[in-house]
Structure 1
């Protein structure tokens, strides 16, 4: 058996930063009523410090880490396909088996663990990305940007359709409940649900919100595919493999931030100026957020790659290890956070403020950095990475590095 190809430290490091950043935004979804994810006034009073924290997270983190994860998923998808083709394997069959099992993981994650799953979306969109896997770098960039532009148009059409209904309509009330300050009764139901039993939460996802995974695919499919294609282009061009010089990465970061930061700051200011009006928050979350996102993504990715290109350090090594086990860290975070906040666990849902939640995130980051490196010092894959690989290949894969070395001799 041939030895496994060397790891790309740049991809692993970026993936580690992305999975840690995703938790920073997801913590509100784990710990607070749903509208609080978007609107800082949705649950409990917010003073200047809380509004400043919202602004920082909105400008630098919200949707940017998900975009980075999508970019990296596309790059990894292409890397697996290219390696399978080079090894003479049936890359098409292998790819769709991987996506099929990922979809199953996503369904389990959504219905049995947490409502904020992205794995099913990635599995479905990853199937569509296969059709672009042999396109040139230039075509991948063109298609990626076109799909992101199409996503913006879809969001504009949805926003106009909802707001044209006018006050008193069902769509208008839904916007107020999901993006504004919900009624006290809505908050009370949300708290009771998440502080209640595990069976009650699963029943809610199955029978009251069973359609959400499909809605997510329809709502975000175009942009997610576009970002995956840009990730493929980033792999082909050497951008994501660490093939650019440090100064080139810094110049790319400066360009991304020079365009993306003013646009994002403007949207944040519009939200604040409106008094966090539900319609403005809806616009910020959807159509107004799209144009700046690729530029902020470029800035974040290039700046991170410039840092990863530096001399080896314990922190870089541990971040890269967290990225190698990103699948395990992503699902593991859901298990830990739901056990911490939901009623069948510690029951802290709705009890902690936003600054206290930062402490929870910091603790989770520390756990990711502490366990991933020693585990991968002994094993070739994270636990769930190994399970996914074994299921996709239809047989148990060797996991210990010692066993793999014996098989490769």
Structure 2
């Protein structure tokens, strides 16, 4: 039987969670509030959010597979190192425009939603103090899982520990109004827009000065102080690019060598990322996007509280902005020209708008009834997202690419890596649907939430807590 609820004065219908998983009912979402399910710890679920989470965790593989199956340093630097045939260029461009950073963006928004839902549930049962303690403990365990993901499963690009930190930092704002949450959430992108815009103008001026200095050097004429600074800056940039290329070559050598070389390099890469001071910026990005997710949830944007027509129009508007920004960014990157890039100022707004466009599109498909059937399997992926994330690592870093596995590291270009990611995701999606039809919870979720609860949670559908 469907469950009728009230949300913001509207009546809404949410099919049973089991029906969403086993295919016995179409998912139709018009407006939702969290509803109890057969989750072993009683956690409420929203089918539309599970679908978004499932799509995002599938999308993460398209972002990570090039860093696991080829040089991570090259992905940060000259992407042509992985292959630059015509299919590779098309694959890279599509990835850069529609996917890059968006799976991460959707997951970060959903973490913000989770903060709102979970802390409200904890506070209702035990007050504000209990909400802080239980929410804090939950994220402390997630942080530990993330560190184990780095040190034991050898994935330097882990996001679990980062999201655990950011999720704790947004807790003090759980009662904030959507306007404040959006203002704070967009502050990072706005700072980049202003700072990057000023940097873009400075870089344009420096490029003009450098061209002048080149002419003066050719004519054996003395340089002004400004011209000398431009020449020195260009030389420093060239040294940095050369260092990046050497790092990619060294990585290729280490990851095609012995098993011990592979393990040591993965540990060293994890340490290098920390030593370079990237972690605070990644946490800040996650913090800001989580606040945006919390705000949009409170406004009813993320969970299907608007009409299909509203979602359709909103998606078109947001996608239009996203495409302008992302196509510009991809075009600038593919030029490989030593010229100022406008996307240095706009990339975060591009990432956020494309991420939000995907969220709005999914909600339009659900609200209009056009996408419920083919989106339904992703609800199972969303309920097992943590397990699938870890399983992606096991497949890539312990089976396909390492010296003790199939030794496929460096054998794929951009196009073939994207095809491989699609094949792996398809297999994982089938596995997720199969598993969630038979079990109440996925394995890693069970371990995480059992530790949080301080007891072994029921695992099979026949068990009772």
TM tier relative to shorter chain: 0.7 to 0.9
CA contact (8 A) 2:166 2:283 kept: yes
In the TM superposition, what are the counterparts of 1:273-288 in structure 2 within 5 Å? 275-277=335-337, 284=343, 287-288=345-346
Aligned match of 2:21:
none
Provide structure 1 residue ranges, at least 5 long, that are not aligned to the other structure: none
Aligned match of 1:290:
348
SS of the aligned residue for 2:179 comes to helix
In the TM superposition, what are the counterparts of 1:243-282 in structure 2 within 5 Å? 243-272=305-334, 275-277=335-337
In the TM superposition, what are the counterparts of 1:6-405 in structure 2 within 5 Å? 6-38=44-76, 41-43=79-81, 45-88=83-126, 90-112=130-152, 113-150=154-191, 166-169=233-236, 173-178=239-244, 182-183=245-246, 186-207=247-268, 209-213=270-274, 215-272=277-334, 275-277=335-337, 284=343, 287-309=345-367, 310=369, 313-338=372-397, 339-404=399-464
Which stretch of the first structure deviates more once superposed, 114-123 or 391-400? Answer: 391-400
Partners of 1:157 and 1:115 in 2: CA distance: 33
Q: CA deviation at 1:23?
A: 0.7
Partners of 1:80 and 1:325 in 2: CA distance: 18
Q: CA deviation at 1:328?
A: 0.7
Give me the CA root mean square deviation.
Answer: 2.9
Deviations 1:85-119 (A, max 9, x none): 22336111111111111111111112232111111
Q: CA deviation at 1:9?
A: 1.0
Deviations 1:278-300 (A, max 9, x none): 7768x85x644112222222211
Partners of 1:97 and 1:375 in 2: CA distance: 27
TM-score (norm 2): 0.77
Which stretch of the first structure deviates more once superposed, 261-270 or 11-20? Answer: 261-270
Deviations 1:335-359 (A, max 9, x none): 1011201222111000122222223
**May I ask how many residue pairs the two structures share in their alignment?**
394
Q: CA deviation at 1:254?
A: 1.0
Q: CA deviation at 1:206?
A: 3.8
Provide structure 2 residue ranges, at least 5 long, that are not aligned to the other structure: 1-35, 204-228
Deviations 1:106-145 (A, max 9, x none): 1111223211111111111111011111111222112111
- Closer, same or farther: CA 77–367 of 1 in aligned 2, 3 Å: farther
Structure having the higher Rg: 2
CA contact (8 A) 1:144 1:225 kept: yes
SS of the aligned residue for 1:87 comes to helix
Partners of 1:300 and 1:140 in 2: CA distance: 21
